[in-house]
A and B are shown apart, each in its own frame.
Chain A
Amino acid sequence: MLDEATGPLLEVRHVSQRYKGGQDDDAPAVLDDLSTTLSGGEIVGLLGRSGCGKSTLLRIVSGLIHPSSGEVVYRGAPIKGPADGIAMVFQSFALFPWLSVLENVELGLKALRVPADEARRRSLAAIDLIGLDGYESAYPKELSGGMRQRVGFARAVVTHPNILLMDEPFSALDVLTAETLRSDLIDLWCEGRLPIKTILMVTHNIEEAVLMCDRILVLSSHPGRIASEIRVTLPHPRNRLDPEFRQLVDNIYALMTRRPTSKQPGKEGAFPGTGIGMVLPRVSTNSLAGLVEEVAAPPYNGKADLPHLADSLQLEIDELFPIAETLQLLRFAELEEGDIKLTSAGRRFADAEVDARKKLFGDHLLACVPLAARIKRVLDERPSHHAPASRFREELEDYMSEDYAEKTLRAAINWGRYGELYAYDEDAQAFSLENPA
């Protein structure tokens, strides 16, 4: 299928990426000194949690953004901008709503000044290949999600790229549609009908990665590094119920829930940053309580296997992990080797009534979340028992980007409200100790 003798198709060399605006070296890194290579004939998966920088890495490879340091070498030359022969499929499909299916597919060729009749011929061939025959004159808004993503594929394939980049291409689709698209794509790939040498796909779905990829790069979060590299040698088509398949999935779960081996003092749990600068996820207290109850009840009785839990609760890891890790941060649960285990406090929480739960939650919040403790202390110390949110927001922005600061503050507001530690007035944008009588 291709000439593998000429060496790697693409090489990522010591790529690091920092938050925009952070010019000094101690700005938090999104990607940290990451190196890997892509050679022809393989599907490589970038697997990681949200915020681990996998989409950023994909955009660096595509030339859409420039890394803070390091370089990406494609066919012997460093990438300076979007390169010929690298095409991307987007999670949101990214179709132009004012162009028909055919025009959307032709767009890339037109930009390359391919003669009109050749562009037409190649586009029709790509549309045919991807299974969109008959939809040429439809507009994207007339199509279902699955058909829209097929247009996305056709648009990428029509340029005959060497490397096809896919950014969570199936995550905006429903389960059935996603499965059809995955197997169609794998079939085309296995039959050698795609004019593509290599696929690099980003996903947060462990099973999807095991189902499709020849090689999986598991990224750790904050900063993004390659935590491990897993080769999948199972022949296509792969069977999700195959014990070997299950074993691989379990192993990756264990890998992804392993505690960070960082020795920094004060570093707790899985969230980036330390002390007040810890980035908090926006997790609803209902989800937290729900997961505690689920794990406490039979059949788990206080200890559950995460892949099993994810399956039965129909949660993606991006949804399940933040909940589980928040419980870990609050010392209601422990995460180990792909299992979640309730602590004694977690069990008490599960058995308690509403008011006792809130009290327990508030106590743990004060003890385990430095930001909540800081807000409470400031309010206690001020005679007015009032403090504007901007005071804490600005403090957070010393440690993290504006977006993360806002998210973190929101999390602290919601958890603090549930734990009845403090009140927050949205109109005045201020914390206070008083509750409306």
Chain B
Amino acid sequence: MASKFVAFTSLGRRALPNQWDVIALSLIFGIFVLIVHASRGMVLPLPPPDTAPISLDYSYLPYYALRTTMRMFLALAASLLFTLTYATIAAKSRRAEVVLIPMLDVLQSVPILGFLSFTVTFFLGLFPGSVLGAECAAIFAIFTSQAWNMAFSFYQSLRTVPSDLAEVSEGFRLSPWQKFWQLETPFAVPALIYNMMMSMSGGWFFVVAAEAITVGDTTIKLPGIGSYLAVAIDQRRLDAVLAAVLTVLIVILLYDQLIFRPIVTWADKFRVELSASQSTSSSWVLGLLQRTVWVRRAFSPIEAAFEWFTSLRIDLPRIGGGKGESPTASRVIDVVWVVAIALLAFYAAWQTISFVSSSLSWHDLLETMGLTLITMLRVIVLLALASLVWVPIAVWIGLRPAVAERVQPAAQFLAAFPANVLFPIAVIGILAFHLDPDIWLSALIIFGTQWYIVFNVIAGASAFPNDLREVSANFRITGWAWWRNVILPGIFPYYVTGALTASGGSWNAAIVAEYVKWGNDKVAAHGIGAYIAKATEAGDFPRIVLGVAVMSVFVILYNRLLWRPLFGYAERRLRIG
């Protein structure tokens, strides 16, 4: 099972970030600074004249939901395109790989809202006076919440294509293009689909933030659920918030049933396990489609066109490390390549530092580091609390198949539900009871992500081998000894997957959760999330760059030093079967 927010390329014992991570980090932030520079040069965009105000009338909700869903699927299509190219280049070219994969690693650690701040002005400037720029910015923001884990999954699939199938393809002299469509992509499909579903739920979280865009004094609200919610919050309309929540719920259920379920069931046939598998998924929609003659007939030209497209004998240019190179030439190119990348990274780092230091001092750096530590403490403490509460409950559920069958879909649904739409309600509570935001806003960080722990642990407990349960019953292992020696090691790999996902999601949620508004009331906790959110609101780019960069570095270190060793340990020692 994969994790949404964090993926590790290797589980080797060496976990410390290396020079490639530093290079990737400076390249990415160099690009951010470049974008900021570029958009400064552009004319500050005028507010597009034709934006209709968002109405809180319930009857607009279906239309807004449609617009939002459209945006999400457009972003998903963009993510797919990105995945098929970026991951493929990374997997095929040794030289590209050393840069692209660490960059992906950094990108998945950048808090998603960070991207929004950098790119909004840029996109608005691209299409001055038109709502298209805002649309592009929103879609891009959603894209950044979907693309990285899909690319990682595709990259990993490409690296693990079964060697015998690769040999067959080569023996039949499939061109790289044909091999890509006949072997590599089909092989990657199951993992990719799973990650697309995870990406969709990640996307919902940020739709809310991406649709209502503020630049300087102008606010653009694209028609959609996110804007509806933003307006509802502004006007303190609790009923409208609840209506939006209900709409999101219905939309998620609909596309799950109508789109993802059929695709998942269909994708089952791409699993490479040559035994009749205990097929778990079923879909009434797919069954309907497959049994209806006219639907099949309507699809057949599309199928034929796709087949024609994929069996073209396009000979893609061999990217890097071709067979024709002599070893010396190859080594020379390697050196030139590394030097060029290092210089570029150095330049990017210098640009970033000079941009940030033009208005900020060491004191700001220390401040952001302190704030990041506070947020990290929050994430760790809440993860521990959630684990303490949920692991025993989830184990209890998982060991009872009848209960698990009912609870599991609910837990998965809750994980997919964008928890931030409920945050305003928490603010009402905090304001009403005069609670300490530093403590009570923290709870929001884990609110949406704890479900990853729940459903992973349930899955682990359900998969726990029956013979081991019988053995422990037979030897009367009970109480703490049972937890310590039997079930906790048994579910540990699943728990780590769940907790890793929850932790990645929590970091992202921190930006939204540490700074929450209700009408004109603002509640903020101390932390890097609130720092970035405030800087974004003020349009203070040096502060955004600094905050996002410091947070990214912390997240990378935290993942590498804490989670990767745990993950590797779980895979090596505790994976059953």
Chain B 162-176 interface mask (CB, 8 Å, partner A; 1/0): 101101101111100
Complex partner residue of A88 from B171, B272, B277, CB under 8 angstroms: B171
Contacts known (A90-B164, A94-B164); A107 close to B274, Cβ less than 8 A? no
Complex partner residue of A98 from B162, B178, B269, B311, CB under 8 angstroms: B269
Question: What distance in Å separates the Cβ of B141 from its nearest Cβ neighbour in chain A?
Answer: 35
Contacts known (A94-B164, A94-B167, A141-B274); A81 close to B173, Cβ less than 8 A? yes
Residues of chain A contacted by B171 (CB below 8 angstroms) = 62-64, 82, 86-88
Among B167, B171, B276, chain A packs the most CB atoms within 10 A around the CB of B171
Question: What distance in Å separates the Cβ of B301 from its nearest Cβ neighbour in chain A?
Answer: 15
Among A4-12, A108-116, A226-234, the stretch that binds chain B is: A108-116
Contacts known (A92-B164, A96-B165); A139 close to B172, Cβ less than 8 A? no
Docked complex Cα distance between A142 and B277 (Å): 10
Q: Which residue of A lies closest to B175 (CB)?
A: A111
Q: By the criterion of a CB under 8 Å from any partner CB, how many residues of chain B are at the interface? A: 27
Chain A 104-131 interface mask (CB, 8 Å, partner B; 1/0): 0001101111000000000000000000
Question: What distance in Å separates the Cβ of A173 from its nearest Cβ neighbour in chain B?
Answer: 13
Residues of chain B contacted by A67 (CB below 8 angstroms) = none
Residues of chain B contacted by A64 (CB below 8 angstroms) = 167, 170-171
CB pair B173 A97 closer than 8 Å = no
List CB contacts (< 8 Å) of B170-196 with chain A: 170-174, 178, 182-183, 186
CB pair A97 B170 closer than 8 Å = no
Contacts known (A141-B277, A142-B276); A94 close to B269, Cβ less than 8 A? no
B273 within 8 A of A: yes
Residues of chain B contacted by A108 (CB below 8 angstroms) = 172
Residues of chain A contacted by B173 (CB below 8 angstroms) = 81-82, 84, 111-112
Complex partner residue of B271 from A92, A97, A107, A111, CB under 8 angstroms: A97
Size range of the chain A interface in the assembly? 35 or more
CB pair B186 A96 closer than 8 Å = yes
Chain B 301-326 interface mask (CB, 8 Å, partner A; 1/0): 00000000001010000000000000
B358 within 8 A of A: no
Question: What distance in Å separates the Cβ of A90 from its nearest Cβ neighbour in chain B?
Answer: 5
Residues of chain B contacted by A150 (CB below 8 angstroms) = none
B275 within 8 A of A: yes
A169 within 8 A of B: no
B58 within 8 A of A: no
A140 within 8 A of B: yes
Chain B 58-73 interface mask (CB, 8 Å, partner A; 1/0): 0000000000000000
A148 within 8 A of B: yes
B127 within 8 A of A: no
CB pair A90 B186 closer than 8 Å = no
B270 within 8 A of A: yes
Question: What distance in Å separates the Cβ of A85 from its nearest Cβ neighbour in chain B?
Answer: 11
Docked complex Cα distance between A87 and B172 (Å): 8
Docked complex Cα distance between A88 and B163 (Å): 14
CB pair A141 B273 closer than 8 Å = yes
Docked complex Cα distance between A23 and B436 (Å): 67
Docked complex Cα distance between A118 and B275 (Å): 32
Q: Which residue of B lies closest to A159 (CB)?
A: B172
Question: What distance in Å separates the Cβ of B97 from its nearest Cβ neighbour in chain A?
Answer: 18
Question: What distance in Å separates the Cβ of B322 from its nearest Cβ neighbour in chain A?
Answer: 13
CB pair A96 B167 closer than 8 Å = no
Complex partner residue of A139 from B164, B269, B273, CB under 8 angstroms: B269
CB pair A82 B172 closer than 8 Å = yes
Chain A 57-72 interface mask (CB, 8 Å, partner B; 1/0): 0010011100000000
List CB contacts (< 8 Å) of B321-336 with chain A: 327
Docked complex Cα distance between A111 and B168 (Å): 11
Chain B 243-272 interface mask (CB, 8 Å, partner A; 1/0): 000000000000000000000000001111
CB pair A97 B164 closer than 8 Å = no
Docked complex Cα distance between A23 and B327 (Å): 10
Residues of chain B contacted by A94 (CB below 8 angstroms) = 162, 164-165, 167-168
Q: Which residue of A lies closest to B167 (CB)?
A: A64
Chain A 253-271 interface mask (CB, 8 Å, partner B; 1/0): 0000000000000000000
Question: What distance in Å separates the Cβ of B23 from its nearest Cβ neighbour in chain A?
Answer: 26
Chain B 325-353 interface mask (CB, 8 Å, partner A; 1/0): 00100000000000000000000000000
Given contacts A23-B327, A107-B172, A159-B172, 7 further A-B contacts (CB under 8 A): A81-B173, A82-B172, A88-B167, A94-B168, A96-B168, A96-B183, A142-B276
- Enumerate the 3 nearest inter-chain pairs by beta-carbon distance, A residue then B residue, closest first: A94-B164, A111-B172, A108-B172
Q: List B residues at the A interface (Cβ < 8 Å).
A: 162, 164-165, 167-168, 170-174, 178, 182-183, 186, 269-277, 311, 313, 327, 573
A-B contact pairs, 9 of them (CB 8 A): A62-B171, A64-B170, A86-B171, A94-B162, A94-B164, A97-B273, A111-B178, A155-B168, A426-B573
